[in-house]
Amino acid sequence: MYQLIKKILFRAQPEKIHHTVMRGMKIIYALPFGKNVLRAFCDVKTKGLERELFGLHFSNPVGLAAGFDKDAKYIDELACLGFGFVEIGTVTPLAQPGNDQPRLFRLPADQALINRMGFNNEGAAAAAKRLRHKKSNIIVGGNIGKNKNTPNEEAVSDYEKCFHALYDVADYFVVNVSSPNTPNLRALQEKEPLKQLLHHLQLLNAQKLKPKPILLKIAPDLTNEQLDDIIEIVQETKLAGIVATNTTISREGLATPAATIAEMGAGGLSGLPVREKATAVIKYIHQRSHGTIPIIAAGGIFTAADAQEKLDAGASLVQVYTGFIYEGPTIVKKICAGLRR
């Protein structure tokens, strides 16, 4: 059924239809028995799929990646779709509009998306306020970043503000220094600035009565030497783990015509074309760290086989985003059923 509906949805501008569909889902959820209908349609049998990681209990290993529910507006509705966890954000200290529209593009021939959203969000305080009123007990991760106008020299302060704002309402944190859509952000992945940032956040974390897991989200475009630095820093700062990976700036091997891609312009590529690259990064980190660094996998996960590939490479949990757009609201149900088999 979704494949028929998708043909209609894909005729609309991607960002506009996203908000329309999610508002519709919110209306259904609010109706009498609405949440029961959603749960029945997307029911996930979790027996045997539970995971204990970072001191948290995940009902199943399939989560929703950051970027879909940036402002924590749909947590309870998404919980009805069977997700084991939802990652909000990327959240910045101050609200910001992001880049000019259009900034989200579909590549159906490649089962991919290109986005240059630019951390559009309503700010950390607004997200925290919504999370305080969520009704479900689903695990929520807070993906945090810096405002566009904050120079890298002052970036630590932005991450600190987000950490404090979300501390009471997020179950874990993800430090995003790997988005290609905020100018100079990826420079923070370099060894010294990254070490300084993570040391500072862990110092703040240690001062809390109950420290929260902090993870690092990395790009799929890093060299092995850069990945070695990442592993060293994660171990030195005692981070809880790594999210691998973000979108890629590569455009290699796409079926979509080059002229069409050029018209879309800059942005991060996600979906099926990132699958192999993300898996290679996960496998490298897992092997080089001797399995000591927990990994949440993201990148090209559409099916149970894709998820199993990431788990076999060394991941403990997986996240979907582009796969969710292309496969529809029963993606978690299908992946979990396949993993159970």
> Which parts are annotated binding residues for substrate?
70, 115-119, 176, 181, 246-247
Q: Pick the catalytic residue from 179, 270, 289, 316.
A: 179
**Is 179 an annotated catalytic residue?**
yes
Residue ranges of the annotated binding site for FMN are: 66-70, 90, 143, 176, 217, 245, 271, 300, 321-322
Question: Secondary structure of the chain in the HEC alphabet?
Answer: CHHHHHHHHCCCCHHHHHHHHHHHHHHHHHCCCHHHHHHHHCCCCCCCCCEEECCEEECCCEEECCCCCCCCCCHHHHHCCCCCEEEEEEECCCCECCCCCCCEEEEHHHCEEEECCCCCECCHHHHHHHHCCCCCCCEEEEEECCCCCCCHHHHHHHHHHHHHHHCCCCCEEEEECCCCCCCCHHHHHCHHHHHHHHHHHHHHHHCCCCCCCEEEEECCCCCHHHHHHHHHHHHHHCCCEEEECCCECCCCCCCCCHHHHHHHCCCEEEEHHHHHHHHHHHHHHHHHCCCCCCEEEECCCCCHHHHHHHHHHCCCEEEECHHHHHHCCCHHHHHHHHHHC
Residue ranges of the annotated binding site are: 66-70, 90, 115-119, 143, 176, 181, 217, 245-247, 271, 300, 321-322
List residues with catalytic annotation. 179
